[in-house]
Amino acid sequence: MSHDRVLPDLSIDATGSAPSGPLPFRDRTIPMWTHGVSFLFSLGGGICLLAVAVFVVFFYELVAQDRQLILAPLLAFGAVVPILGILIFDVGHARALSGYRQIRRRNAVTGQALVAVLAGGVFGFLHPLIVAPFVAGGILSWLLCGLAARWTRREPMWDFLPQEATSFLSGRDQRAIDLANAARGDSALLEALQKALAFGGLIAGFAVASWLAALEVINAAAIATIALVTYWSIDAFFAYFRQRSVADPERLGRANEVVCLPPPYSADPEGDETALVVHHLSVRTDTGTPLLSDVSFRVEPGEVIGLSGDSFSGKSLLMRALHAPHDLTALQVEGFVALQGAPLWGRSGEERPIQSVLVPPETLAVPGGGAANLSCFSVEAQLDRARKALQSLVFTADTVDRILSAPDVRHLSRTEQKALSLARALALRPGLFLIDRPEDGASESLLAALGDRLRAEARLGHTTLVATENRQLLERCDRLLMMQNGRVIEFASTAEIRARLSSGWSRFVTTRELDNEEALDAWLCSQFRRDGDEGNRRAVCMVANEMLAVACQSPTDSDAPSDDISFEFKHFVGQCQLRMIDQRLALSSGAMQKARVAADTSVEGERLSPLAKIMRDSLDVQTGDEDGQSHLEVTIKTYDPRLLEKRKGPADVSPQT
């Protein structure tokens, strides 16, 4: 008998006492006061450590030399005070900055190095020669750490054998995966150098202090103290420069650069206050290779936009660049992205309503169980709203209870994890939903429920961008954003694009610039997917580039609402058609006739106009005007590489065969 209790359908507004607006949030920040507090704790611990070394002087002077044996237990009891101080400072440091482990470590090293500098300064008053090991140790630490960071290989957490790699890559050992991907540590050479240099400082301190004691410059009781402090100081210097030689962990995994461009000019500035505006968004590698190229579009409130295109077209990268460009490791991001007039790229520790939510293909989860992950560890009212959002997606109370009571989200099924991610995003009520491949791990019923919820969110004015190849989700989209090779090739209504695709036509939209030849060629090459199509690609791209040149020669019209031109392509048997739609295109019959004569009478090597080259390399060229849009349509001869292979096959067979 099934124990599933079917729940009634829930309205989007059936949220009980939950807050109706977006959930307030603030970005992760490191408060400035943590550095000061951490430094003071580190400084106090270092001073206590020096105090312990000073007690060595009293033991030697009062007990060993003056034979005041009664002072031995008193001094030992007194030495407990700085030792307890070290314990108190270290524990207090950890309690005061709980959760800031990396800050504590970095500032502790800095504080110890500063105390070492102070100790060297104090010893310098006794005699300048005592400072020599401090200075030499500091310089050697700086040089060795700098050279080691440049020339030595950082040690991985675990070096695995090929046989072991076969084991954990087949899914048998998650811990092995974690160790293999963990951040590399310092090389063993650095650890050995730190120990060697610190003990070298110990010997140097003993040598200098003993020589000065023999000259009766200092008391012999100070020999051990000077040696111990020198050892500790050089170790602190090396630890400081060793830390400085590696990258700050806060910068690891971050984008190299994020540049927010000025907002674009708009004839209707009030309209941009409610729309999603993406302007000249580009993402490049550190070598300058473009991954996203000049992406610009505008989405009105309440629209559901589908992102579609081939694999590796940049859909997921676009989602991440819109929402969290700082997380694009080692990439350079540039552009302007704003929702309702507020930029999306700003990071701040100030509390504010959440603007956008990204739902990646894999579930984002932190320790805390299902209910905490679903409600983002928020108040009970937010959990109630998140529970109802989850119910509207999975419909069964048993599934809801299982997700909420899960102690570890990773142990849920993929469909349950996907439902949790989607329900959490819906409960946050942002102005912009970014959903990447929701079909990964989702059942058909979950996708259908998600489609209903997205349409309901659209009624509230929320905007959705969903990257998917699922047909039922695409059919619920108002418009489709077609992408290829990191570029937007078309942005039109879903019905228009589907009607064109069903008729065999594909479209590419670009700006009137010769710099877009590469993008145009990439789009045309993608239309020929068979082996042996190189000649077809070359012939069509040559004609298309000349058509783009013709468009760039059109007179400038400052009153035009946009400066975009469209290319449409369709295959036929033995030929293809390429059409350029341009509202500024103006080709008279005289210009066409002149270009045709030039093409017919041309000789090899003769310089021709772009229009004449089009005439020469095409089977047919026609111009027209439809719905107020002028167009230039050409027919280009193509071949079927499969037929060439069939013809070539018998010729390659030897007579003996």
For the stretch 107-158, pLDDT in tens is 888 888 988 898 888 888 888 899 999 999 999 999 998 888 788 877 788 8
- Give whichever of 7-16, 288-297, 648-657 has the largest mean pLDDT: 288-297
Structure tokens of 352? 């504010």
Q: Residue 14 pLDDT > 60, yes or no?
A: no
Given this model, what pLDDT does residue 179 score?
Answer: 84
How does DSSP assign 309-331, residue by residue?
ESTTSSHHHHHHHHH-GGGSTT-
List the alpha helices (DSSP H) in 152-267.
162-169, 174-181, 188-214, 222-244
- Flag the least confident range among 165-179, 281-295, 412-426, 429-443: 165-179
Domain boundaries, the chain: 28-152+187-251, 506-645
Distances (CA, A) of 45 to 24, 90, 116: 39, 7, 12
Instruction: Report the candidate in 89, 81, 84, 87 with the shortest Cα–Cα distance to residue 41.
Output: 89
Structure tokens of 198? 């610190």
304-309/479-484 β-pairing? parallel
Average pLDDT over residues 435-443: 92
Rounded-to-integer distance, Cα 110 and Cα 42, Å: 8
Given this model, what pLDDT does residue 57 score?
Answer: 79
SS3 content of the chain, % helix, strand, coil (to 5): 50, 15, 30
Q: How far is CA 404 from the centre of its chain?
A: 30
Confidence of residue 4 (pLDDT cuts 50, 70, 90): very low
Confidence of residue 558 (pLDDT cuts 50, 70, 90): low
Largest CA distance in the chain: 120
pLDDT tens for each residue of 210-255: 999 888 888 888 888 888 899 999 999 999 998 888 877 777 778 8
Q: Give backbone dihedrals phi and psi of 102, rounded to 5 degrees, phi first.
A: -65, -40
Structure tokens of 139? 């310089």
Rounded-to-integer distance, Cα 227 and Cα 202, Å: 5
Buried b (16+ CB within 10 A) or exposed e, 398-407: ebbeebbebe
Rounded-to-integer distance, Cα 294 and Cα 198, Å: 55
Instruction: Report the candidate in 98, 116, 97, 114 with the shortest Cα–Cα distance to residue 50.
Output: 116
Given this model, what pLDDT does residue 251 score?
Answer: 76
Q: Is 408 helix (H, G, I), strand (E, B) or coil?
A: coil
pLDDT tens for each residue of 33-64: 888 888 888 888 888 888 888 888 778 777 77
Instruction: Report the candidate in 392, 593, 391, 657 with the shortest Cα–Cα distance to residue 402.
Output: 391
Q: How far is CA 231 from the centre of its chain?
A: 43
Distances (CA, A) of 186 to 151, 190, 251, 444, 574: 12, 7, 17, 49, 63
- Domain 506-645, CATH number (from 1.10.10.60, 3.30.565.10, 3.40.220.10, 3.40.50.300): 3.30.565.10
276 burial (CB, 10 Å; 0-12 / 13-18 / 19+) is buried
pTM metric for this prediction: 0.80
Structure tokens of 451? 């489609």
